[in-house]
Amino acid sequence: MDLSPIIHNRLCLYLRSLRRLQEEDVHKISSQGLAERFQLSAPQIRKDLAQLGEFGIRGVGYDVDELTCRLSSILRLDRVHPVVMVGMGNLGRALARYLGFNHGAFRVVAGVDKDPDKVGLQVAGFQVRPSSELKRVVQEHDIEVGVLTVPPDAAQGNYNRLVEAGVSGVLNFSPARVQAVPEVPLKDIDLRIYLEQLAYFLPESDSEKELVSSAS
């Protein structure tokens, strides 16, 4: 089975919604109910889910727990994936805390930094190790995912080192283009895009506003 990114994304949304329902002790839900509750499209939910198998009960709806299980499994979110942060600056430290809370599917178990001043710092339950020990760290913890939060010019080198160390996937938060090998998928995240998206909905700029240098 192969999920298009667009469907995959929706399934993640459904899963989150279902988990919210679990917390509220809701055990059965119809596509209609899900749609209204979380502003989704009922026919689309049915189509997406039907594509993966017959999870629903006609006349009743879906079993929240069962569907959560099945989706978790399909999305590979039913097991813990150990994560290492590469680069323990502010962003690295922030994400180490922030990303750990994905219903336990990811656990940031280690972090490395080149800067000796950062080595030894206690962050989100682990101690920062020197970059030189990356490979050992990955092997010690069976780490599957590396998260790059290093300066742009260090991104490629650290991607390579992560590949070498044996991770299966890399998330890159530094705004640098990194060349990836097919065996270790790389996902680039450019946080600037969100501001850019928002900018489009900002009011027309006054002529008195400051111009940006490069646009003149």
Partner DNA sequence: AGATGTGAATGAGTTCACAGCT
Partner DNA sequence: AGCTGTGAACTCATTCACATCT
Cα separation, 215 vs 197, whole angstroms: 18
* Residue 4 in contact with its own copies, rule: CB under 8 A: no
Q: Which is nearer to DNA, 28 or 114 (CB)?
A: 28
- Asked if residues 99 and 108 have their Cβ atoms less than 8 Å apart, the reply is yes
Q: Which is nearer to DNA, 64 or 137 (CB)?
A: 64
Question: 169-172 and 186-188 as β-strands: parallel, antiparallel, unpaired?
Answer: parallel
* Residue 38 in contact with DNA, rule: CB under 7 A: no
* Residue 67 in contact with its own copies, rule: CB under 8 A: no
Which does residue 195 touch among its own copies, DNA, none (CB within 5 to 8 A, set by kind)?
its own copies
Shortest spacing between CB 29 and DNA, in angstroms: 7
Please pick, from the candidates 54, 76, 117, 153, the single residue that binds its own copies as defined by CB under 8 A: 76
DSSP 212: P
* Residue 78 in contact with its own copies, rule: CB under 8 A: yes
Q: At a CB cut-off of 8 Å and minimum separation 6, what does 22 contact?
A: 64, 65, 68
Q: Which is nearer to its own copies, 54 or 204 (CB)?
A: 204
Cα separation, 163 vs 169, whole angstroms: 8
Cα separation, 55 vs 48, whole angstroms: 11
Query: For binding to DNA (CB under 7 A), which residues are involved?
Result: 4, 6-7, 30-32, 41-44, 46-47, 49-50, 54-62
